[in-house]
Structure 1
Amino acid sequence: MKRVLWLLTAVCILSGLCACGADGKGQTQALAPPSAASYAAEPSPEAAAVAAFLKDTTYLDLADAAGLAPYYEAAAQRKAAILGAPTSIVRSDTFVRGETYTGTAYYISPTGNDEHDGLSPETAWRDPVRCTWGEVQPGDAVFFERGGVYRLAEASLRLGQDVTYSAYGEGPKPVFTIAAENSARSECWELWHEGAGGAKIWKYYKPTHDVGGIVFNDESYARRVLEWPTPNGWLAVDVLPMDPVNGIVAREDPCTNIQVASAGEYRTVEESLTEDMTYISRVDISGLTYPFEASQAGAGELYLRCDKGNPGECFADIEVIFQNENDTSVLDGWHADGYVLDNLSVKYYLDNAVNGNLMRRDAVIQNCTVEWGGNRLFSIESEEPTNDYCLIGDGIYGVAANATIRNNYMRHCGNACTFESSMELLEDMGTYTVEGNLMENCGQGIRVSLINEGEKNRFDAVLLRDNIILDSGNGMNNACLEEPVAIDLGVDFVQYAGSIEVCDNVLIGSTLAIVKAPHPDAVKTNIHNNTIAQSENGALLTMGYSPSGDGISWYTMSMVKTN
């Protein structure tokens, strides 16, 4: 089960760190480290200990535009390479996962016909779920036409056992989404309120279930104004910033950098939408009792403030992301071993873009994009607002044992790539590999955490290498209340893998820490040759509990600089 966000009860102990200054490897090998004169020559004992933990790290100041420019250029080149990756899956008598298939190829196109045989681009099927009707068998491949948009508003696309899914034709990767339609039509939006200063609030043309995001032209989004459902109506809330670097002192896991609190009043829509390009989603809460499961609420009203005019006339594409009445994952690997996803794009989704089952094995996800994951109301336990309110739009979640996730582009997800479980009986999880990916503006980049009771390592190895992760916690999921970090290895003192290696990654910017990791006396990790950029007074590392029971420790960038 996905971990639901929890209340911030914690505080932090602040410490500093020093820098070691060594080049990363992989794609960043040729990039020059910062000048040694910018960094402290004599680190404190605490800083030296952290430097030993983050071995051979290159540290950069987030404000150093010139120093960061080569890394942003490398990110741009990687993005272009992933978006432009050709389809290289071919038929062969020998099966190599992610490279070949051994059975029959089937084709699906938005202009196809489900009465056809699906065996060629000229006789392609039309409905993306057509490939689940029985013909497709293990060893086969399903190719979706590039440039097509496949709307899975009714149910997820269930993946098949040992089936490869890829793309054919020319143009951008085929898109899969739960968004039911392009809402960039003037008739989709009715002017509901016009106020002073040119404020214009528009009402969506039909009731919707909880809206987790609104995306414009695949490049910008409306910010959600959070309200709290109560038997008396929608309570206004304040989102309070929590700053572990400048004031919080605690000994528990903070999990977030914001706190939700009651504003003490019920506001009208126009009183709440005080800024342009913000929205409110009010599902039907009549008869509400706690605990309130938002998935069971009736459809309600959606209001969007757009001062420059009718949104349907201002934008060429508007994707309204709301929960359907069935599945909310887009691609569902729960029942399949050995599937391959290649050159597909999952956009505008809730909960999970790709969801898997940890009891399954051997998935490969490569050359794909995962973008614009919304966060929706979840389980509301009380009338008093808490941080336990939403379920976030994770990108690639769980997937399978012995999974490989490589060369993908992910942006504006809750967590781009997550592998976590409280399933203590899981064994023989193989190697979990995340490499060569680009992740930007996600709540978290990579999170790996597996509860482990006893001495047995669940994974043979966890390999997180050569990923570029930019601006964690700064995107459409800002309100998701999950601790924003680039890489999260958990804080529990359990060794869940025989080998945990984090290397050759570029980690630039986070609204909380860059790295979260268990205490080295509790869990053996090998974190080395990474490049990290953070603000001078920003949080660098959150270190977990030691076996003696010490609380969470925080380390900042502040002692790295000499002036």
Structure 2
Amino acid sequence: MGIRIGLVLSIWALTWSIASAQTTYYVANTGSDENDGRSLLTPFQNLAKVNTLSLQAGDAVLFRRGDTFRGSLQIRKSGSIGKAIRFDAYGNGPKPLLTGSVVVSNWTSLGNNRWQASCSTCGTTVTNVFRNGLAQPLGRYPNPDAPNRGSLTVQAHVGTSQLTSREPLRTDWTGAEVVLRPTYWIIDRATITQQNENNLILNNSSTYPLTEGWGYFIQNHPATLDQSGEWYYNPTSKTIQLYTDQINPNAQVLTAAAVDRVIDIAGASFIILKNLHIAQARTTNLYALNVSNLTLTDTDFTDSGEDGVIIQGEGKDILINRCSITNSNNNGFVIGSYQNVTFQQNIIRHTAILPGRGKSGDGQFTAFQSSATQNTLIEHNIIDSVGYIGLSVQNNSTIRQNLITNFCMTKSDGGGIYLFNGAQLPMDNILVQSNIIRNGIGTFGGLSDNVIGGAHGIFLDDCVNGVDLVDNTIADCQGLGIYLHSVSNLNLLRNTCFNNSLAQLILYNYDRSCLPRNNIIKGNILVAKNATQAVAGYISSANDLAMFGTMEHNYYARPFNDVSIIRSVYNGNIVNDLNLPQWQAQFSRDGTSKPSPISYKEYSIQSVSNVNRIHNSFDSNTEGWEAWGPYSNGQVTWNTGYKLDGGNLQLNVSTLSHQADSYVLMYKGIQAVTKSKSYLLQFDATSPTERKISVFIRKQQAPYQDLTRRYEFIVGPSRRSYEFALTPSTDEANALLTFQFHEDSQPVCFDNIRLQEASIVLNNPDDFIRFVYNPTSSDSTVTLDKPYRDVRNHYYNRQVTLKPFTSVILLLDTFPPVDIRLWFQTDQPYPKINEVTSFSVALYNESVGQTTGLNKVQWTCRLPAGLTLVNSNGLSYKDSLLTGTVQHLQRDTTFVFQVKTATPGSYSLAAEVTATTFADPDSTPDSGTNDGEDDSGLTTLRVRTQTDTTAVVTATDPLTGRNSIYPNPSSDVFTFVAEADISLSRVVDLLGRERLNLGAIRQGQTIRFGQQLPGTYYLLYIQYNTGEQRIIKLIKR
């Protein structure tokens, strides 16, 4: 009995405690607003009843799953710390649906597939009509699939209030709405107030004047209804007309968006919305004003007439987690000047993809827009299919590991991530890190046939500053990968841009007072997929490109045409398309940056005709070639020498005009050419100085237009052979093969020019370049069926593994890998001050016999402050950086340099391979010295004073020091006892080739090794955890 009484008392006490802390209210379609709502058996029925409750901190309102609740939920009460007011779901099945639509029934036929019904609760506008839950199209003229891309044309205009249509308007459109594109980034809507034939008078509040020659269309008028599902709303009669050639609408469920806000929160705090489906508001599915401690989690917001979620006013501590916002006609998510905002693991999809359904003016058609000012975190979200901008933020924001795809689908001149600071306000602490941005779509300019390349991956516009763009991936955009317009104090670090149509990176300033300064552009990978895509551009109206910032360790790659990969524009009109060495030499930027490690032809030759259009070896004359220049100073002569075969054709300038627009043409007639046929051009060329030349086929007579694309190539002091396939775009009876270069005092010499008809097949870049990315939170492994390398020359054979939100651009490797090893050591690790110390850098080709061409290898070593270079032995030395290059590493080679210092102390030096011709199977050039790879080495000098009497262990004495090796000499096994912790140990022969790698050894550990070594001399290389290094000579008998 005592136990039973105790149990009853415990249950009673627990129940009383819960009741005193909170009240749970239940709402179900089968309930009644006359109930108390406090149990599953006595639920409320309607949202209007819930709005009358005087909710207290800790209360919960639960909606039954699978039910639909029409109307608006008004939240005006607040919870408290630890006692939030919660709106949630109960039961089983789909999330409860809270909707702003009303059922429209009793449809009557008007004939010709038109039906009409009253909507007495609809207001001045209806933004959506749904049939069986699916949004139906608002009627428009012309239809989207009509000619002219479904548009009429603005013939003339007066400001914003009047337009004249190029096409005749035979219907009276008064009262309808016109949808206008005044510019690329604006879509406006205006009411037609008056019509006089083809002239429309508009009630248009836009600040953007109309653009002649651009399109417009008309909507929300009964005359537009001619396709199934199209509808029109008459606000005067409050009726909806529907065109349907399918089922009688009375046999379907049709609803109209009538309630402005399904969730309306004002002045409340400590509110939780969870496991709900909020849908079909006339304007906004959730609107909150001046709220704090608001949590939205596991809730879906769909089919809003305008915006999905709007949080305005001021407040703090906002969490949106695992929600979805889909099918918003205007903006997806907008938040005002709040603090402590977290937006995690959400999906925003299908935002503003219908041009006539979003709002007019700026700031519209955006998936995510934040004006929050402090501690904003946006991470692990998916933003997909958006009419304009994917994501935009202000200060103190982190945008991390988001996937943004398919943006600028309705407007252009925007970005997947877009930041703007036209007012030049202070900006700080914005981190954009490890996002993947793909498939900027772009829209047409006016009614032309060209898609404007205005869908940029990351777009920082008008005086943005203080932003870090780090480890982002941008690919497949119809625009620029990264567009930086008048930015400063920017860190652009380790980003990857691939296959963006206009260019991978542009840093630009033309007319803004905020000059690009103090930017750091480092470690970025910029790869153009095809031969016509640009890689990068640096553009200014002044002569200040070298002042834009620090640029280093970037990769500028266009494997199908690595010639003019960087466009420089300065003083507004001086334009140069440069290769990387030219850019480095002219502007002293990107000294450590690299071009593509491998190149491909744009075509494969199937067959070549035996008939030569041109076959000139210039044995004795110029063979009919001519020259021309706009200043009559071009000439061709016959010459010998210049590293060519006997006689050659020399193109030069007789007298320099010193005009910026001066150029010289060298040409020869080739008779008729045929559209789409290919002509294979081969020749040799050289010049005393490096320069860029273009070759093409053009018309012989006026208007002298080009018949083929212009192909650029670089000539220089070394003789090179060239090959191009020229394919005319039209037939021409009299064509010229033409070479063109800018005026210069040095000649260009040609030899062995041959032109033949050929059958070619264009190579598909997808067969050579593979882009792999991982948009997930786990490692991802991709199997490879061919060997590849990346731009860093890292080799991939069977697979590639990517960390979360990383990517790699793989280049098909047509050559076998070559293993390069570096050995770095000093002859005196403990010198005295001012004592000259020698260092040796040994390079070893451990894949001897595998290469078919020159195996060029470059290494660098940066001297720490305090060391003075005494003897470079021919090495390049600039800004404390030593650089050594071997043009063809067949087996091994050694470089030696000497240093000294007048200051005692410890100096750490590192040497690493920074560039190779071939991929390395176990190392990545220029990847740092702390990655454990064998293409780098570390050593430390400990410089003593002249009076320092501390004992110094000699480098090759096997019997002294703190380690014991015995026996030495040995005819079998060496035994080694470590008396200190060792980070690295290996045995090499006297040529520096590694024979054994003993790895890390703990203090006191005993290692036995060397039984398999042949009898000769060896060196045991030891590096202690302290950084000290030691070499012990071993004798094997």
TM, length-normalised to structure 2: 0.33
CA deviations over 1:356-394 (Å, ceiling 9, x no partner): 12x3312111100000011xxxxxxxxxxxxxxxxx334
Amino acid at match of 1:319: T
* Partner of residue 25, structure 1: none
From 62, 74, 95, the counterpart of 1:157 = 74
Separation in structure 2 between the aligned mates of residue 133 and residue 440 of structure 1, nearest angstrom: 34
Q: Distance in 2 between matches of 1:436 and 1:240?
A: 36
Matched residue type, 1:438: I
* Corresponding residue number in structure 2 for 1:417: 333
Q: In the alignment, is the contact (CA less than 8 A) between 1:493 and 1:518 conserved in 2? A: no
Give the counterpart of 1:203 among 110, 113, 116. Answer: 116
The corresponding residue for 1:234 is: 174
Aligned 8 A contact 1:472 1:509 in 2 = no
- On the 8 A contact 1:420/1:449 being kept in 2, the answer is yes
Match of 2:497 in 1: none
Relative distance call for 1:532 and 1:279 in structure 2 (3 A) is: farther
Distance in 2 separating the partners of 1:437 and 1:120: 33
Aligned 8 A contact 1:109 1:148 in 2: yes
1:500 equivalent in alignment to 2:430: yes
Q: Post-superposition shift, 1:239?
A: 3.8
Residues 220 and 272 (structure 1 numbering): CA distance in 2 closer, same or farther, change over 3 Å?
closer
Deviates more, 1:132-141 or 1:330-339: 132-141
Q: Distance in 1 between matches of 2:16 and 2:318?
A: 23
Q: How does 1:383-532 map to 2 (within 5 A)?
A: 392-398=306-312, 400-413=315-328, 414-420=330-336, 429-443=338-352, 444-449=366-371, 459-473=373-387, 486-493=416-423, 499-509=429-439, 512=442, 513=455, 518-519=460-461, 522-532=464-474
Q: Is contact 1:518-1:544 (8 Å) kept?
A: yes
Higher relative CO (Cα under 8 Å, sequence separation at least 6) belongs to: 1
Q: In the alignment, is the contact (CA less than 8 A) between 1:226 and 1:280 conserved in 2?
A: no
Residue 416 of structure 1 aligns with an amino acid whose one-letter code is G
Task: State the 1:203 CA deviation.
Answer: 1.6
* AA of the residue aligned to 1:167: A
SS in 1 for 2:261: coil
Q: 1:157 to 1:305 in 2, by over 3 A?
A: same
| 1:236 CA drift (Å) | 5.0
Structure-2 separation of matches of 1:517 and 1:408: 26
SS for the counterpart of 1:211 is coil
Among 362, 368, 383, the residue aligned to 2:293 = 362
Which letter maps to 1:157? Q
Distance 1:226 1:156 in 2: 37
Which of 174, 180, 185 is equivalent to 2:102? 180
Contact 1:514 1:534 in 2 (8 A): no
Once residues 409 and 224 of structure 2 are traced to their aligned partners in structure 1, the CA distance between those partners, rounded to angstroms, is 16
User: Taking structure 1 as reference, are residues 368 and 93 closer, same or farther at Cα in structure 2, changes over 3 Å only?
Assistant: farther
Aligned residue type for 2:297: Q
SS of equivalent residue, structure 1 residue 395: strand
Corresponding residue of 2:91: 169
Residue type of the alignment partner of 2:299: C
Q: CA RMSD in A?
A: 4.5
Residues 137 and 226 of structure 1: is their aligned pair in 2 closer, same or farther, counting only changes over 3 Å?
farther
Equivalent residue, structure 1, for 2:512: 550
SS at match of 1:441: strand
Shift of 1:334: 1.2
Give the superposition deviation at 1:156: 4.2
Q: Is the 8 A contact 1:159 1:339 kept in 2?
A: no
Q: 2:109 aligns with which of 191, 203, 210?
A: 191
Secondary structure in 2 matching 1:271: helix
Asked if residue 118 in structure 1 is aligned to residue 56 in structure 2, the reply is no
8 A contact 1:492–1:545 mirrored in 2: no
Structure-2 residue corresponding to 1:216: 131
Quote how far apart the aligned CAs of 1:281 are: 1.9
Work out whether residues 46 and 70 of structure 2, in 8 Å CA contact, stay in contact via their aligned partners in 1. Answer: no
Q: How far apart, in 2, do the equivalents of 1:490 and 1:218 lie?
A: 38
Q: Verify the 8 A CA contact 1:236 1:264 in the aligned structure 2.
A: no
Among 276, 279, 285, the residue aligned to 1:347: 279
Q: Which residue of 2 aligns with 1:372?
A: 303
CA pair 193-525 structure 1, distance change in 2 beyond 3 A: farther
Partner Cα distance (1:496, 1:166) in 2: 41
Partner residue in 1 for 2:270: 338
Change in 2 beyond 3 A, CA 1:373/1:192: same
Matches within 5 A, 1:24-35: none
1:148 maps to 2:48: no
Q: Retained in 2: the 8 A contact 1:470–1:507?
A: no
Q: Give the corresponding residue for 1:279.
A: 231
User: How much identity, in percent, do the aligned residues show?
Assistant: 18
Tell whether the 8 Å contact from 1:193 to 1:201 is kept in structure 2 after alignment.
Answer: yes
Provide the C-alpha distance between the structure 2 equivalents of 1:140 and 1:482, rounded to a whole number of angstroms: 47
Residue in structure 1 matched with residue 242 of structure 2 by the alignment: 304
Deviations 1:524-558 (A, max 9, x none): 334444555554x34666766658972999xxx96
Seen in structure 2, the aligned counterparts of structure 1 residues 206 and 220 have a Cα distance that, compared at 3 Å, is closer
For residues 470 and 479 of structure 1, what CA distance do their matches in structure 2 show? 10
The Cα of 1:335 is off from its aligned counterpart by 2.1
Distance 1:334 1:405, change over 3 A: same
Per-residue deviation, residues 142-185 of structure 1 (Å, max 9, x unmatched): 11111111101xx542253121111111011111112122x3x5
For residues 366 and 348 of structure 1, do their structure 2 counterparts lie closer, same or farther at Cα, with a shift above 3 Å needed?
same
Structure possessing the higher radius of gyration over alpha carbons: 2
The normalised TM-score by structure 1 is: 0.58
Do the aligned partners of residues 416 and 482 (structure 1) sit closer, same or farther apart at CA in structure 2, a change above 3 Å counting?
A: farther
Q: Is the 8 A contact 2:420 2:461 kept in 1?
A: no
- Note if contact 2:462-2:486 (Cα within 8 Å) is conserved in structure 1: no
Q: Structure 1: state its 5+ residue gaps.
A: 1-90, 95-100, 195-199, 245-253, 285-298, 375-391, 422-428, 451-458
SS in 1 for 2:280: strand
Q: 1:138 to 1:257 in 2, by over 3 A?
A: same
Counterpart in the other structure of 1:321: 257
Deviation sequence 1:192-228 (CA, Å, 0-9, x none): 241xxxxx22222345431101123334432343899
Higher alpha-carbon deviation: 508-517 or 304-313: 508-517
Identify if the C-alpha distance between structure 1 residues 531 and 307 changes in structure 2 by more than 3 Å, giving closer, same or farther. farther
- Compared CA separation, residues 260 and 158, structure 1 to 2 (3 A): same
More strand per residue? 2
Q: For residues 206 and 350 of structure 1, do their structure 2 counterparts lie closer, same or farther at Cα, with a shift above 3 Å needed? A: closer
User: Offset at 1:479?
Assistant: 12
Say if 1:335 and 1:310 are closer, same or farther in 2 by CA, change over 3 A: same
Within a 5 Å distance, the mapping from 1:117-136 to structure 2 comes to 117-136=36-55
SS in 2 for 1:349: coil
2:722 alignment counterpart: none
- Once residues 222 and 29 of structure 2 are traced to their aligned partners in structure 1, the CA distance between those partners, rounded to angstroms, is 41
Indicate conservation of the 8 Å contact 1:132/1:160, yes or no: no
2:815 aligns to what?
none
Query: Whose helix fraction is larger, Structure 1's or Structure 2's?
Result: 1
User: 3-state DSSP class of the match of 1:180?
Assistant: strand
Q: Cα–Cα, structure 1 residues 120 and 534, in superposed 2: closer, same or farther, change >3 Å? A: farther
Q: Judge conservation of contact 2:420–2:464 (CA < 8 Å) in 1.
A: no
Is the alpha carbon distance of 1:311 and 1:124 closer, same or farther for their aligned partners in structure 2, counting shifts above 3 Å?
Answer: same
Matched-pair contact (CA < 8 Å) for 1:350–1:393:
no
Q: Helix, strand or coil for the counterpart of 2:41?
A: helix
Q: Tell me the distance in 2 between the aligned counterparts of 1:542 and 1:260.
A: 32
Residue identity opposite 1:136 in structure 2: L
